[in-house]
């Protein structure tokens, strides 16, 4: 029940900060101005990539209209630790402000992690890879299944499952997605390919501006070619019976299949005998 309460409180925080203050945060919490230099980043922040152009636009908006929604912080021995609102904090620093409007909460590590994760998820500010890590972190923290998490954050179970599957991509492919060189739609159809195949397809997407449908067709063709190659290899056979007479002379047993030959040694002397025989006969 505690987890659900935190989730409702966070939803209110995102929608309307004053209502959240009244309903969930308690009467002792209030909005105050805190020096930017006294606020440290949230160690549980799931977002790692911040676009400079987007931060610049937000900083210009803050210069012009001020900060509409306060950030959330918690107090510690060295000042304050950010709970939620890192874009606002970074943009305020970019705007050369000295202080920022903040709501101070009493919070433990678990609540800080949850607030940071869900705030970013609800705001759709994370890229697909960060979102996948955030979903995984919430599931690990609270033991949620994909279905349970979908109910908690109002996302479809299919969306959550497909997003988490992006973590199966190679680090290079993930980086390409983070940098928006490929779309999430592209990335989803790359899951299941090995690293070399992913790189081949990614290079084609970037170089040829392929659509998701064109990539699906490309991957289908690659898989079909691989299947045909495997079938060709499996049906290939070799005549290995000619080796039987040679090994009979050496007194050794062999087993053959269509594409393999196995030698059975009974003594070390047979091994030495074969080694001495091979160079002389250029086998």
- Quick one: pLDDT at residue 203? 93
- Cα-based torsion angle of the residue sequence 155, 156, 159, 164 in order, rounded to the nearest 10 degrees: 70
- Which one of 65, 98, 124 terminates a domain? 124
Same domain, 103 and 40: yes
pTM over 0.95: no
Same domain, 200 and 260: no
Same domain, 273 and 220: no
- Pairing between strand 71-76 and 99-105? parallel
Same domain, 271 and 178: no
Domain annotation covers residue 31: yes
List, for residues 31-62, the tens digit of each pLDDT value: 788 899 998 887 666 666 666 777 788 888 88
Domain annotation covers residue 148: no
60 labelled catalytic: no
Catalytic residue from among 60, 86, 130, 197: 86
Same domain, 7 and 78: yes
Domain annotation covers residue 53: yes
Residue 166 reports pLDDT greater than 90: yes
Same domain, 52 and 90: yes
Domain annotation covers residue 144: no
Closest CA to 87 of 106, 68, 113, 108: 68
Closest CA to 50 of 91, 78, 108: 91
Same domain, 252 and 200: no
Domain annotation covers residue 157: no
Residue numbers of the domain that contains 258? 242-281
Is residue 138 within 8 Å of 114, Cβ to Cβ?
Answer: yes
Same domain, 9 and 120: yes
% pLDDT > 90, the chain: 20
Domain annotation covers residue 230: yes
- Residue 144 DSSP label: -
- Cα-based torsion angle of the residue sequence 118, 121, 126, 127 in order, rounded to the nearest 10 degrees: 130
Domain annotation covers residue 27: yes
Same domain, 268 and 208: no
Same domain, 176 and 248: no
Same domain, 27 and 120: yes
Counting the structural domains of the chain, the total is 3
H/E stretch holding 106: none
- Quick one: pLDDT at residue 206? 92
Mean pLDDT of 200-210: 92
Domain annotation covers residue 147: no
List, for residues 223-256, the tens digit of each pLDDT value: 877 765 666 555 666 777 677 777 777 777 777 7
Is residue 115 within 8 Å of 84, Cβ to Cβ?
Answer: yes
Same domain, 255 and 228: no
> Please, which residues bridge with residue 229 across strands?
none
């Amino acid at each position: 029940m505690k987890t659900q309460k935190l989730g409702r409180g966070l939803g209110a925080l995102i929608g309307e900060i004053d209502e959240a203050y009244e309903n969930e945060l308690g009467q002792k919490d209030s909005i105050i101005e805190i020096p930017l230099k006294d606020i440290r980043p949230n160690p549980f922040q799931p977002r790692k990539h911040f676009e400079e152009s987007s931060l610049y636009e937000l900083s210009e908006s803050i210069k012009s209209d001020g900060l509409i929604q306060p950030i959330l912080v918690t107090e510690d021995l060295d000042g304050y630790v950010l709970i939620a609102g890192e874009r606002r904090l970074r943009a305020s620093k970019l705007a050369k402000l000295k202080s920022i409007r903040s709501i101070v909460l009493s919070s433990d590590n678990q609540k800080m992690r949850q607030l940071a994760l869900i705030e970013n998820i609800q705001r759709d500010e994370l890229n697909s890879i960060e979102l996948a890590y955030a979903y995984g972190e919430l599931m690990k923290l609270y033991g949620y299944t994909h279905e349970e998490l979908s109910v908690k954050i109002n996302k479809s179970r299919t969306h959550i499952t497909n997003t988490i599957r992006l973590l199966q991509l190679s680090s290079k492919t993930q980086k390409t997605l983070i940098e928006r060189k490929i779309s999430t739609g592209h990335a989803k159809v790359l899951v299941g390919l090995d690293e070399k195949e992913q790189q081949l397809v990614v290079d084609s997407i970037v170089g040829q501006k392929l659509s998701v449908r064109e990539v699906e067709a490309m991957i289908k063709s690659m898989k079909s070619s691989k299947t045909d190659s495997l079938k060709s290899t499996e049906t290939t056979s070799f005549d290995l019976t000619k080796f039987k007479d040679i090994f009979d002379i050496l007194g050794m047993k062999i087993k053959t299949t269509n594409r393999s030959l196995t030698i059975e040694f009974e003594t070390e002397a047979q091994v030495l005998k074969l080694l001495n025989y091979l160079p002389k006969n250029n086998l």
